Structure 1
Amino acid sequence: MPAYEIDGVVPVVDPTAYVHPTAVLIGDVHVGPGCYVGPFASLRGDFGRIVMAAGANLQDHCMFHTFPGTEAVLERDGHVGHGAVLHGCRVGAGALIGMNAVVMDGAVVGEAAFVGAHSFVRAGFVVPPRTLATGSPAAVRRELTADELAWKANGTRTYQRLTERCRATLRPVTPLPVAEPDRPSLTTDARVAVPLDEYRRARRGAPE
């Protein structure tokens, strides 16, 4: 991975984390145990400290940055979808930030809260624990259900297993010109994790 020292401060990555080789880490960055950092993510600790706590994931093309003299934190098991921007905020343990959402300076996303895809969480806004916030600017819509919290926890576990899979088997290769006749299957399938709308439909159809 491209990692850069600045002002004598070097990024720190726990040996059990996985950081994709195209992700960029600069300065005062701390990636904790079992974390996943996806392709083309940028973690810039060139003004203030950037922290990913144990088991958190920051997916493809995410940006994690902060203002001078401040700290931005993604707490334990935090889950950040593709293309999201976190700037000078705190995302609580087990929280979910949807794809392409933006969370601004001084905002706090509470424990196990959800921020919907494409939402804009303005500076200083607080999303209470276990609630859903959506919109631009984001507003708190309702409390989350037990099913939604269970779905999120499973998705985070899936990314934690991806950390292990990447550490064990991901390597650069030359693409094949055609698929081999005995092509192996991936170790995951649709039983592992599904989109939330499918999960809700399945749960509604489940016996009481």
Structure 2
Amino acid sequence: MALILPVENKLPQFGNDCYIAPNATIVGDVQTGDECSFWFNSVIRGDVNFIKLGNKVNVQDGACIHCTYQKYGTTIGNNVSIGHHAIVHGCTLHDNVLIGMGAIVMDNVVVHSNTIIAAGAVVLENTVCEPGSIYAGVPAKKVKDISQELISGEINRIANNYVKYSSWFKKDGE
């Protein structure tokens, strides 16, 4: 059973039709939109500040979302995929963003819409990622503009697939 706990009298609040894997951990001041999914061993820790997620956000296996005490909450827009073992910390991700597997997004980063952070990238504190771009490397730098085909073909496809995947688990768990 998933671990959902209050912290300082703040209990996570979930939108409609969300999926939470049995070993996901979600604590504190966390608010989600609709059709979000939290996969195996994901950790969403709203203990020291807020975490707010829009609709159709998927937090894949082993990913961690946290925030910074008295400084930076974490805000995530709609249609966002956070890849396996990624770390998203005290930052803002706008709509239609893909955070690749193992990427790290640090405090006070802003990732604008229609942007991909490549697998393994490290986006350093205070970085502003331009909309419609791909960032890669350590430290992450813009490597190219993103095509409309990549936005609809990858970013949207992955977010929609995770809504579909979660339906399999919800159906089988009934």
Same fold per TM (> 0.5)?
yes
1:90 aligns with one of 69, 92, 95: 92
The alignment partner of 1:12 has SS state of coil
Normalising by structure 1, report the TM-score.
0.79
Match of 1:54 in 2: 55
Structure 2 distance, partners of 1:3, 1:28, is: 11
RMSD over equivalenced CA pairs, Å: 1.2
Match of 1:174 in 2: none
Match of 1:133 in 2: 135
Match of 1:192 in 2: none
1:164 deviates by 2.1
Identity of aligned residues (%): 24
The alignment partner of 2:119 has SS state of coil
The 4+ residue runs of structure 1 with deviation greater than 3 A are none
Matched AA of 2:161: T
- Partner deviation per Cα, 1:12-65 (whole Å, 9 max, x = no partner): 122411111100011101122100111000000110001121111110000100
Normalising by structure 2, report the TM-score.
0.94
Match status 1:114 vs 2:121 = no
Match of 1:182 in 2: none
Q: Say which structure, 1 or 2, has more relative contact order (CA 8 Å, 6+ apart).
A: 2
Match of 1:17 in 2: 18
Match of 2:157 in 1: 154
In structure 2, runs of 5+ residues without a counterpart are: none
Matched AA of 1:158: N
* Equivalent runs, 1:191-206 vs 2, <5 Å: none
Matched AA of 1:120: V
Relative to total residues, which structure has the larger strand share, 1 or 2? 2
Structure 2 distance, partners of 1:155, 1:67, is: 28
Count how many residue pairs are aligned between Structure 1 and Structure 2: 171
Structure 2 distance, partners of 1:150, 1:3, is: 33
1:73 deviates by 1.4
- Partner deviation per Cα, 1:39-97 (whole Å, 9 max, x = no partner): 00000011000112111111000010011133101210011110000000111101100
- Partner deviation per Cα, 1:97-130 (whole Å, 9 max, x = no partner): 0000000000011101000000000001011111
Match status 1:2 vs 2:7 = no
Structure 1 distance, partners of 2:125, 2:24, is: 26
Structure 2 distance, partners of 1:154, 1:170, is: 24
Matched AA of 1:5: P
In structure 1, runs of 5+ residues without a counterpart are: 172-208
